[in-house]
Structure 1
Amino acid sequence: MTITPICDRELWERACAGDPESFGAIFDRHSRAVYNFLCRRTASWAEAEDLTSAVFLEAWRHRSAVTLDRDSALPWLLGIARNTAANGGRARRRYQALKERLPTPSPVPDHAQDVADRLDEERALVALRASVGRLPAHEREVIELCVWSGLDQQAAATALGVAVGTVKSRLHRARRRLGHDLREYAPSCPDRRVIAEETS
């Protein structure tokens, strides 16, 4: 049994109705002919590939204005290709000028490593919080103010309503208590590094 292929007109009507697969079928059917035409016009395979993409992008944008010739979209596509090739020099110059103005893109980060690092930091932070949570309340307060919140000892003293010397002695004792526990954890938590440096 012979299956009659769907004509361009029907595919195009489906594409205009919002069916991208029908437009894909048009592309599959005619892209080689468009590419060959552009190869001959430009004498450059690479340029022909770029322009072929531009032709079909333009065709998609103006799909409602297609003019079919005996149910074939190829003549209309080649007309777009001709205009695209003629304008290619100006388009390439505009593209190159824009490219030169844009900053060089940064390398794409390794998201898998980033996720792993963040999980490590979260685990270290949980362990650190547990260790700090075992401190007496008055020592935990100075760690939270001086180390986690970045206050100096005078500001912490004002916040707590105590003398600066009291904050200093509490902070010293807290650092001594935390020193052993902190050395057990991977040094991935920024807070831990601050405390570890001060306990060494």
Structure 2
Amino acid sequence: MTYRDRFEAVYDAYYPAIHQYAARRTGSPDDTADVISETFLTAWRRIGDVPEGEEALLWLYGVARRVLANQQRGDLRRAVLTERLRAELAADRPVRPVDLDHVRAAFDKLPERDREVLALACWEGLTSQRIAKVLGCTAIAARTRLHRARKRMAAALERQASLTNAMGEA
């Protein structure tokens, strides 16, 4: 009997039992399928270690048990990492004070090109040389774009302040 024949015989004989074993211990069909595939992949790789007869089922249960344990450890690690990431993101989330709405309004009225260069400089903290690499232009061109965008932002802020003052006086 070849290794392939031996594996097929074990698979055909014990697939239903391993399927039921995994299905009763997992929360989803995908997890069940993962356990089954890992169990039989191990059996394929180690077909020479799989005992004969009914002992093969016990051996497969042992493999499936270890696969489930690994799966559960992985799920726990992912849950812990997800929670830690959520906490870090919540702590790092910038709080937008209400009194800066006029800045956002002025920024939003700028052309996309100006918003992009200002965001790279202010939000990302990039220098003109680095902005140039992002934009695919020379450092001089990036510095010029940034200078012009800052001037347009200042003008937009003045217009926004005038508009806000006019609305407040009315």
TM-score (norm 2): 0.39
Indicate the structure (1 or 2) with the bigger Cα radius of gyration: 1
Give the structure with the higher percent helix.
Answer: 2
Q: TM-score, normalised by structure 1?
A: 0.34
